[in-house]
């Protein structure tokens, strides 16, 4: 009887320890898409400010932006942008969309929580005015 009580206590303790570890890992995972989005927004910022001066996004720059986004772990990157030079005062845009994987906690099969992947599409819209005078 005493032995069984001890086993229950060990099992209880193991569940508490596992829950703390899983929850801690979950919070660490949650930072990853935040950092990816921060990097993607920083890149979008750099390119739209350059576009303001140039009046468009060249094909070369579009490829280079796509590569930089993929290097930052953005998946299925889609870029649409003003791709031919527009005059001063006309609007220019740079829209980025990419997929990112979120880790979600799921209790579907079993006692302990498990991680489940959920893919979401993140939009980064940017629109401003061309200041290109040349």
Provide the minimum distance between the beta carbon of 99 and another protein in the complex, in angstroms, as a whole number: 15
Question: What is the number of residues in the chain?
Answer: 134
Q: Is 118 in the site for another protein (CB under 8 A)?
A: no
Rounded Cα distance, 19 and 128, in Å: 48
Helix/strand/coil for 96 = strand
Is 6 or 63 the residue whose CB approaches another protein more closely?
A: 6
Rounded Cα distance, 107 and 109, in Å: 6
Binding-site ranges for another protein (CB under 8 A)? 13, 16-17, 20-21, 23-24, 27-28, 30-31, 34-35, 37-38, 41, 45, 48, 52, 88-89, 91, 93, 123, 125-129, 131
């Amino acid at each position: 009887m005493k032995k069984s009580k001890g086993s229950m206590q060990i099992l209880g303790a193991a569940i508490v320890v596992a829950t703390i570890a899983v929850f801690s890992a979950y919070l660490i995972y949650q930072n990853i898409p935040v950092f990816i989005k921060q990097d993607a927004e920083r890149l979008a910022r750099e390119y739209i400010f350059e576009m303001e001066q140039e009046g468009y996004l060249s094909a070369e720059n579009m490829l280079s932006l796509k590569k930089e986004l993929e290097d930052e772990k953005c998946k299925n990157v889609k870029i649409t942008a003003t791709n031919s030079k527009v005059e001063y005062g006309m609007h220019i845009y740079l829209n980025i969309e990419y997929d990112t994987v979120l880790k979600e906690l799921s209790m579907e099969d079993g006692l302990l929580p498990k991680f489940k992947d959920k893919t979401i599409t993140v939009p980064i819209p940017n629109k401003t005015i061309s200041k290109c005078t040349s």
